[in-house]
Amino acid sequence: MLDIPSRVRVHVETLPAAQNDMGVRDAFQHNAPARKPDAMTAPHPAKVAGIDPTVPTPAHTVAPVSPAPDAGPVPGTAPAAPAVTVPHAPAPGTLLQDRLAGWVSDLTTLQELTERLCRTTGLDAALEELLRAGAALVGARRGLVVLEPGDGPGPRTTLGLGLGRADIGHLETVPHGPLHTTLDGESVRADLFAEDGLDPRHREVATRLGYAACYALPLTSEPGSGLGTAVWFYDEPAAPDEHHRHLIGLYVRHAAAHLALLLEVERTRAYAATITEELLPSRLPRVPGVQLAVRHRTGPRGGGDWYDALPLPDAALGLSVGSVTGSGPGAVAAMGRLRASLRAYAVMEGEDPVAVLSDLELLLRLTEPARSATALFAYCEPALRKITLAGAGHSPPLIVGERRTEFAETSVSAPLGMLACWEAPSLEFHAEPGETLLLYTDGLLHRTGEAMDRAFARLHAAAASVPRALRGDPGALADHVLRTVLPDGLDPGDAGEDPEDVVLLAARFD
């Protein structure tokens, strides 16, 4: 750590920018990994890490006064003795001011870099910021970070700066190469081709990628706990000096702590998503006369949306979607209980969707009075293309075909658990050959970020615009609707922090 007395006041107003020598900070602000940054503090060292000082070393003395032009001896006087130049001694405190100014510059740079890192909310974004900041601090142009937690559970990832996938693949094949840094400390290889006993594979990869030196640091959040390795590459033989190595060490220490927190968040989300996926059907059934497809995304905190497709007696098919209020593990567990109960009621009395939802409402009110849920259940007879459905506070399904694109207007009803006794009339209609029934949860509408009436209109327009070539495939139809309604589709990388689950279940009748 930098030990700076708290009572020392630094007056640097009169110091020129060259004396402050804020090379690292300027290098980072101007994306300096593509060029060679200036040295950070005075006096300027010799060429280190491929850095050529472009600003000459300032003289910490008062500028010498130029002698007056020689006007010749004054008549009647003896010739003046030759002038003797006496070097001026440094002003008291000048060297201390320069050193303190350099410390202030270093601390400001580290503060800016750590603040930018802490603003990242995802692992990939944090790793990219780590590579960019580290490249500026050590004067490198390219870098690579390998996230490989030592405690076992992932996620594991490799990310490069200025390196393609093929380049990363070549580096991973180097035995005892730059990616195999231990937790003991840093690895400095100032001139790879001058090393004795360099592995031939390492020499081959270095020649192919065009680097001659590398500097690696382990990512450790606490003693004995390794997260991975960060390494930066130089095009020419070079190495960071002790000062820059101290700065990058401080930065990487804070970066590792931030990465450890993001890693725990990522693991928690992955666990919640895995539990949710295991509670939902792993595959959809094959029922003659109907084709099924589903698209589903779980929110980052784990939500209570579900879907189901259940073969029933007499060649019938039960379709259901629903949502439990809340998020997190409690909502996921409640969703699993309700879905399992609805399957049992559907097997016993599926031909009457109102009875199925009435029993589910009674169960919810008796066992979990603090929760509410929305649900929609459809009893389908594929041979007749007949659909009987009922909904409890759920959005109406959408019928998509060649001649029509319209919502199946179910009766307005309160969600389950909101009334002392729930009951609503069912709706019965027939699907034409080639028509598709779309069932979805409210998360699809909420993720549009618009009012509900506009969200419904947007969904209707997306379904009506499905090309004719895609109407025969329910999966392709669902993908088109999602790409049109949601800007990011269901891409997990662009889901951000939106807590909404999304379910879209498509059933096409032959």
Q: What is the mean pLDDT of residues 171-196?
A: 81
Higher local confidence (pLDDT), 367 or 83 = 367
Q: Are 501 and 443 in contact (CB under 8 A)?
A: yes
Higher local confidence (pLDDT), 55 or 405 = 405
Where on the phi/psi map is residue 315: left (φ > 0), alpha (ψ -120 to 50), or beta? left
Q: What is the mean pLDDT of residues 162-169?
A: 91
Q: How many CB atoms lie within 10 A of CB 196?
A: 4
Which DSSP letter does residue 188 get? Answer: E
Long-range contacts of 404-411 (CB under 8 A, 24+ apart): 404/435, 405/460, 405/463, 405/464, 406/460, 407/456, 407/460, 408/437, 410/376
Q: What percentage of residues in the chain have a pLDDT greater than 70?
A: 76
Task: Give the C-alpha separation, 267 to 118, whole Å.
Answer: 19
Q: Give the pLDDT of residue 183.
A: 56
Task: Give the C-alpha separation, 466 to 402, whole Å.
Answer: 10
70: which residues sit within 8 A by CB, 6+ positions away? none
Burial class for 78, CB neighbours closer than 10 Å (0-12, 13-18, 19+): exposed
- 407-448 pLDDT, tens digit each: 998 776 888 888 666 677 889 999 999 999 999 999 899 888
Q: What is the mean pLDDT of residues 341-348?
A: 94
Cα–Cα distance list, 151 to 160, 220, 268, 288 (Å): 23, 12, 15, 49
Most confident of 44-53, 152-161, 397-406: 397-406
Q: What is the mean pLDDT of residues 101-110?
A: 89
The edge-to-edge listing of strands for the beta sheet with 157-161 is 157-161, 142-147, 225-234, 213-222, 187-189
Which DSSP letter does residue 438 get? Answer: E
Q: Which amino acid is at 201?
A: R
Q: Give the pLDDT of residue 222.
A: 73
Instruction: Classify 19 as helix, strand or coil.
Output: helix
Q: Give the pLDDT of residue 14.
A: 35
Q: Give the pLDDT of residue 98.
A: 84
Is 55's pLDDT higher than 70? no
Joined tokens for residue 149: 């937690």
Task: Give the C-alpha separation, 436 to 406, whole Å.
Answer: 11
Task: Give pTM, 2 decimals.
Answer: 0.63
Task: Give the C-alpha separation, 159 to 165, whole Å.
Answer: 9
Under the banding of pLDDT at 50, 70 and 90, the label for residue 23 is: very low
- 203-231 pLDDT, tens digit each: 899 999 999 999 999 998 776 678 889 99
Is 324's pLDDT higher than 80? yes
Q: Give residue 294's Cα distance to chain centre.
A: 26
Higher local confidence (pLDDT), 224 or 123 = 123
Is 332's pLDDT higher than 90? no
Joined tokens for residue 242: 């002790």
Q: Give the pLDDT of residue 417.
A: 85
Q: What is the mean pLDDT of residues 450-459?
A: 93
Q: Are 239 and 215 in contact (CB under 8 A)?
A: yes
- Look over the chain and give the mean of its residue pLDDT values, rounded to a whole number: 80
Give the burial string for 157-187 (b: 16+ CB within 10 Å, else e): ebbbbbbeeebbebbeebeebbbebeeeeeb
Q: Domains of the chain, with CATH numbers?
A: 19-45+94-268 (3.30.450.40), 284-509 (3.60.40.10)
Is 492's pLDDT higher than 50? no
- 269-304 pLDDT, tens digit each: 788 778 887 888 888 999 999 999 999 887 766 678
Which DSSP letter does residue 52 get? Answer: P
Higher local confidence (pLDDT), 225 or 148 = 148
Is 41's pLDDT higher than 50? no
Q: Give the pLDDT of residue 99.
A: 85
Higher local confidence (pLDDT), 34 or 139 = 139
The edge-to-edge listing of strands for the beta sheet with 436-440 is 290-297, 502-509, 436-440, 398-400, 405-407
Q: Which amino acid is at 34?
A: A
Nearest to 500 by CA among 303, 270, 279: 303
Q: What is the mean pLDDT of residues 108-132?
A: 93
Is 71's pLDDT higher than 50? no
Under the banding of pLDDT at 50, 70 and 90, the label for residue 37 is: very low
Q: What is the mean pLDDT of residues 357-364?
A: 91
